Structure 1
Amino acid sequence: MIAFWLIIAAMLLGALACVLPPLLRTSARGPGQAHAALAGLMIALIPASALTLYMRIGDPVALAMQTAPLASPDRHADAPASMEAAVSRLVARLRADPDDAPGWAMLARSYMALQRPSDAAEAYRRAIALNPRDAELLADYADALASANGGDFNDAALKVIDSALAIDADQPKALALAASAAFDRRDYARAIHFWERLGKAPDLAPQIAQQAQKNIDETRALAAKGSDGSKAKAASIEVRVRLSPELEQRVRPTDTVFVYALADDGSRMPLAVQRLSVSQLPATVRLDDSMSMTPNRRLSDFSRISVDARVSSSGQARPAAGDLTGSSGAVSSKDAGVIDVTIADVVR
C-alpha cells in the first residue's frame, strides 16, 4: 500500500516537473500558450484531485500521517528541487501577469503537491477572485483551507464548500468534503446524506461510488450502535507532552508538533490527531472519538493504543530525518488516566 502511494506521488511530481518548465519558457501569450496552460493544468489536476478525493472519502489526515520508511533518499532526489524551481518561475510569471486564473490554480495545486497548504489556499483565493463560478476550484480551495488547519473544517472551509455546491450540486469533491465535515461533527445523518448524493453524481468513477457506499454502510452501523446504547462510551484520553531538555536547542518555537494515537494492530493510520507548536510545550491535549478519520477506526474501538508525539521543523506530516519524536508505548485506552509522552529521540 505504501509503495502504491509513493508511486502516485512520484508520478505527480514528475508530471508537474515535466510540464511546468516548457510552459514557463513561453514569453508571449497566444493561442498556443493557452493550450499549453490547459494541458498542464489537466495533467496536474487529474492525479492531484483523484488522490485528494480518495483521501477525503476514506481517511483524510490519517494517510498523511503514515510513518512507513521512505524509498532510498537519493532516488528521484532532484524531483522536489526541480518542482520548487518550476514553481518559483511560475510565481515570477504571475507577478507579471496577475490576471491569469489558470496559472494561479496551477500554482495552488503545485503547492498542495509540495505539502504547502497555506500557500495553496492563498493561490486558490487569487484564482477564485478571477473565476468565482468554478465549483471544482472552490472545492479545491476548501480542501486547502482544511489542510492548512490541520485537517479540520473551520467556518471558512465550510462556507466555501457551501458555495461550491450552490453552483454545482453534484460536484463530487465538494460532496465528499461536506460528508467528511459532517462526519467530523458526528452528524451522521448529514454525512450519509452527502455520501448518498456523491454516489449518485453523474460520471462518477466506480471505485469512488463503491467507497461512498462503504462509508454509508459503516456510518449507519455506527449511528445504530450509538442509538441503541450497545456501543461503549466514546473514548477520550488526555496526553501530557513535553520536550526533553537535552533537545531544546534543536527546535524553534514555531516548529510543528503532531500528537497522535495509534491502534495496537500494527497499523500506522492514526485514530486521532492534534497539532500544536513547540512554543506551547509542555502541554496537555485531548484525543477523542470525534477526531476519527474513518467510521470504523476510533479510539473506543481499541483497548490498547500508543500515543506518539513528533516535532517537525518543516511542518509536514510525513516523518523526516532530524525530526524529534517520543512515544508512550502500549497503554490502555479505557483507564489510562493522563498519558505522558516525552519527546527525547531523533528520527534517523
Structure 2
Amino acid sequence: MTSLAMWFSLILVIALAIVLIPFLKKRYDSEDDTQRKQNKLALISIALFVPVFSMGAYFTLGMPEFAEMQTAKPAPEQVTLVDKLEQKLAKDPKDLQGWLLLGRSSMITEDYDKAIMAFEKALVLDANNLNALLPLADALAVKSAGKLQGRPHELLKQAFAIDQENRMTLWLLGLAEKQQGNNERAAILWQDLYNLLPDNDADKPMIAKLLSTVGVQVDLPKSAVADRPLMTESQPNKPSDHINIVVKIPQELKNSWGDATAFIYAKEPTGMPMPIAAQKISVAELPENIVLSSKDEIMPNRKLSNFNEITVGIRITNSDKMNQGQVLFLQEQNWQGQKLIKFIIKS
C-alpha cells in the first residue's frame, strides 16, 4: 500500500510540473522578482497540496474496502473445551485426570492420534492405571486395523496382571490371544468373563458366541433366554449377517461436495469404537441402497451376527480417511433387527 501511494504522488508531481512550468516560463520575463517568488511559492504549494489531498480522497473514497479493513474487527477465535483442556495441560503436565479426560474426549471424536498421546502421558504419571492401559490398547488397535498384537497385547497383559476380573481386559485380551492363534488361552479368558457376568446381562449371549468361535459351547441361562424379545409375525426377522441401508441425497448436494468420501459403518453402541463392519464409497458414486454384510467385517472374530444391538452410521468427509478432514455430514441410528436403516441427507 505504501509503494502504491508513493507512485501515485510521483505521477501527480510530474503531471503538475509538465502543466505549470511552461505556463510560468512564458510569464517569467514579464514579471518582477516579487511576482516570480510568489509564482514559485504557489507552484510548490500546489505540488505538495494536490498529492496529499488526492491520496486522502483516494484512500477514503476510492477504496471503500480499505476503510472496512481498518474498522473490521477480527473474527473471534473458536475455543472448544478440548482446547481449554489442552491449554491447562500445557501449564500443568502432571495432571493425570486431565490427560485421561483428554484421551476419552479424543476417543469420542475419533481423534485416535491425540487419544494415544494423552493416554501415553497418563501412563508416564501412573504406569498401572487401567483407565489408561485399556483405552490405549484399544486406540492402538484401531490405528492398526483392529490388530491387538505387539504393544496393545503387552498393555493388555499388564492390565490383566493388575486386575484379573476386569471385564474389558478379559474381552480384549481374549481377542488378542485368538488373533495370534491361541484359542485355548482365549477360551479360558472368555469363559472367566462369561462366569463373571450376571445371568441377565445383555452381553452374556455375545460372549457365548465368542466362545463358540474357539470351540467352547455354553448353555445360556434361562433368564438370559427369557430376556430376549420374541419375534412375532408382525416383527421383522433379524438378519444374522447383514444390514440393509438406504441413503437418500439430492444430486445437487452430491455435486457440491465434489470428491467427498462417505463411510458407512456398524459399531457397538458401547465398547470398542472400531467398527464391526464398514464400507468406503465416493459420494459421487454413492448408491441409494447399501448392504453391510459379513464381507465388510473388519476382524474375523467380530461379526455382525454376534451383536443384538448395533449402531449404524454414515460419515461424509472431504478426506479419504475416516478420521481426518472436515465432516460434511454425520448421523447414527440404533439397529435392533429392523428391516432397514434410512439416512435422508438434505441440503
TM-score by length of 1: 0.43
TM-score by length of 2: 0.44
Q: Which has the higher contact order (CA 8 A, sep 6+)?
A: 1
Structure with the greater alpha carbon radius of gyration: 2
